[in-house]
Amino acid sequence: MFWKPVVAAAALALTLGGIAATQHEMPASTPVAASVPAYDHIVMVMFENHQYSQINGSSSAPYFNSLASQGAKFTQSFGVTHPSQPNYLAMFSGSTQGNTNDNCPLSWGNNNNFAAQLIAAGKTFKQYSEAMPSDGYTGCSSGTYRRKHNATPDFTNVPASSNVRFSTFPSSANYASLPNISFVTPDMCNDMHDCSVSTGDTWLNNKMSAYATWAKTHNSLLIVTFDEDNGAGANQIFTVFVGQNVITGSYSESINHYNILRTMEASQGLPGINNAASLSPILDVFS
């Protein structure tokens, strides 16, 4: 009975990346959250090099679209730049660190980043990389693994123990043992870089559907997004949030990797870093 002023105030206050958010049409009984839920676990999965229109509504991506029907789909989500590597750095550290290529190895020393921020606050972080040959690996490539899609080894203030193989990702019976924040990178085939949309869709269904279901009842969140488009458009990408307290629907505010990072930081009670520092977290998708 007092939700209408709250919704109005939140809609007026919400600005993402300098662009005013478009208020989402939601049931009258669902007020917008005043803050991002304090999630116990967030899993962020990054795919590769496909524009929004190649995923949204595609018959080759039934599970991506099924997730969208279960959560919040962003119809105006964008990569920060091209090529891949600076986008991963943007999500990980709130900055491209001036990087404009996929060169390897790179080192940004003890520059501020999300993992170091979490660890300093007593929180936990792991980067799970598929096909990486060993935990703590710092090589540039091995089989279908590429370090350019994993920013963790680029920073000396992130311990090797936070850089692990995807094969160590917990089973469905042990999701409660996940760190507070997990970044997940499929290999060069399953992330759609070298293989088809349907290959990535099958991987997402097989590897993350159980977590998506679990998250809805265990104070947790799944974020699925892309690093960039295929270079043929405006860098518009498919992004969806699924989990507890997520209001199902389509959202038209303009967001990018910095907005997503800021939202994850807010969920852990942390301030924004680098280019995320001046942004408000995404609020309208949470009840």
Q: Residue 29 has what pLDDT?
A: 53
Confidence of residue 102 (pLDDT cuts 50, 70, 90): very high
For residues 170-186, give the mean pLDDT: 98
Residue 117 has pLDDT above 60, yes or no: yes
- Give mean pLDDT, residues 204-220: 98
125-129 vs 163-165, strand pairing mode: parallel
Say yes or no to pLDDT of 70 above 90: yes
Q: Is the pLDDT of residue 27 over 70?
A: no
CA 31 from chain centre, in angstroms, equals: 24
Average pLDDT over residues 10-19: 38
Residues 6 or more apart whose CB falls under 8 angstroms from that of 194 comprise 144, 188
Say whether 214 sits in a helix, a strand or coil.
helix
pLDDT surpassing 70 at residue 73: yes
- Reported as a single tens digit per residue, the pLDDT across 118-160 is 999 999 999 999 999 999 999 999 999 999 999 999 999 999 9
Model pTM above 0.85? yes
Mutual orientation of helices 84-93 and 257-267 as an angle, nearest 10°? Answer: 30
- Predicted confidence (pLDDT) at residue 271 exceeds the cutoff of 60: yes
pLDDT for the residue 16: 39
Question: What pLDDT band is residue 30 in, cutting at 50, 70 and 90?
Answer: low
Integer CA distances (angstroms), 113 to 78, 90, 270, in order: 21, 9, 12
- Residue 185 confidence (pLDDT) above 80: yes
* Beta carbons of 186 and 6 less than 8 angstroms apart: no
- Average confidence score pLDDT of the chain: 92
Tokens describing residue 120: 């300093």
The phi, psi pair for 45, rounded to 5°, reads -110, 130
Q: What's the rounded mean pLDDT across residues 205-210?
A: 98
When pLDDT is averaged across residues 105-113 and rounded to a whole number, the result is 98
pLDDT at 33: 85
All structural domains of the chain with their residue ranges: 3-276
Return the pLDDT at 32: 75
Residue 25 predicted with pLDDT over 90? no
With CA atoms as reference, report the closest residue to 94 among 274, 217, 238, 267.
Answer: 274
Q: Residue 109: what pLDDT?
A: 98
Q: What is the CATH number of domain 3-276?
A: 3.40.720.10
Question: What is the C-alpha separation between 43 and 29, in angstroms, rounded?
Answer: 28
DSSP label at residue 221: E
Residues found in the chain? 287
d(CA 161, CA 184) in angstroms, rounded, equals 15
CA 198 to each of CA 55, 138, 185, 192, 222: distance values in angstroms, whole numbers, following the listed order:
10, 30, 17, 8, 20
Question: What pLDDT sits at residue 279?
Answer: 97
Which residue is associated with the tokens 């924040």?
181
